[in-house]
Amino acid sequence: MAPAEPLLFLSLWGQPEDLGAAIRLAGVHGFDGLEANLHHPAFTGREPTAIRGLLERAGLRLIVELVTGGDYVPALEAGPEAQLAELERLLDQARALNPLRITVITGSDAWPEQQQRRFLEGAVALAGAASAPVSFETHRSRSLFNPWAIAELLAQHPGLRLTADLSHWCCVSERLMEPELAPVRAMAGRVDHIHARVGHPQGPSVAHPFAPEAAAALEAHRRCWQLFLRCQQRRAHGAATITPEFGPDGYLPRLPFTAAPVADLLEINVAMARWIRQGALDPDAASPGTTSAS
């Protein structure tokens, strides 16, 4: 039996703050659902039942992102106990939206090893009791910021599932992540969700993944994503979920003086989704040159 096609989600990071507009965008561009922070303005002022109804009528699924500790970079004063309590509250709030899955950005890179271990024990326990599958993002400034520590963390926490965002690890390690590297091999069987953004050794996002100068970075990420999907297929995980997640906030490069973005954010995410749908991550796909993003 052929593996199910990946489900592709439109990230609302940097996209319309109106839920109806976001739903129309997803439909026009062939996405299977939306991924959004629980506190995204598109959800503000709407009852969970109304949000679910709009998505169901459009035939779209939802992935909810939860962030603890303040903003995406956690406040140093937000300690483990406070973040665990916040995570518990957020998981309870997310339940009402009936998401397909939940992806979590949590913890802090500032905590010592023993504190990290106790925190992850608590976080994984909360995830196990959640209303939907939960995976934790490999996000810099967070508990899973360090690629070289991931094998030990996964051994210590058998229930720890991952949202793979390798672009963060490119920044932390100043190198491209590739399937031959020990951290990528160690995590491959635990990846349940992929954030398909292409980083490079000095930053979390190339200007455009299909520009010729980004070819090496794109190929490195492609091969890792391909490995993660193969592992999911072997364990009969069902349809993979992938969110092209190029975003604003200093990720998308801007021109000096005018601050004009060097590329169109929506166009990049749509092009990445199209490239994946054309088979770039199929088991026998050899290189980006075998498919087209146009």
* Residue 293: predicted pLDDT: 52
* Residue 291: predicted pLDDT: 41
Q: Which residues pair with 241 in a beta bridge?
A: 7, 193
* Residue 238: predicted pLDDT: 78
Residues 89-127: b if buried by 16+ CB within 10 A, e if exposed: ebbeebeebbbbbbbbbbbbbebeeeebeebbebbbebb
Q: Do the domain assignments include residue 292?
A: no
Q: Do the domain assignments include residue 27?
A: yes
Number of domains the chain is built from = 1
For the chain (length 294 residues), average pLDDT per consecutive 10?
Answer: 84 93 97 97 96 98 98 96 98 98 98 96 98 97 98 98 98 98 98 98 97 98 97 86 95 95 96 98 72 46
Token readout for 224 is: 């890792």
Q: Do the domain assignments include residue 293?
A: no
Q: Give the span between the Cα atoms of 140 and 264, in whole angstroms.
A: 25
Q: Do the domain assignments include residue 85?
A: yes
Could you tell me the residue range of the domain that residue 260 belongs to? 7-283
Q: Do the domain assignments include residue 291?
A: no
* Residue 284: predicted pLDDT: 81
Write the burial class of residue 189 (CB in 10 Å: 0-12 exposed, 13-18 middle, 19+ buried). middle
- Model pTM score: 0.96
How many CB atoms neighbour CB 47 within 10 A?
A: 10
Q: Do the domain assignments include residue 290?
A: no
* Residue 290: predicted pLDDT: 39
**What CATH code is carried by the domain that includes residue 123?**
3.20.20.150
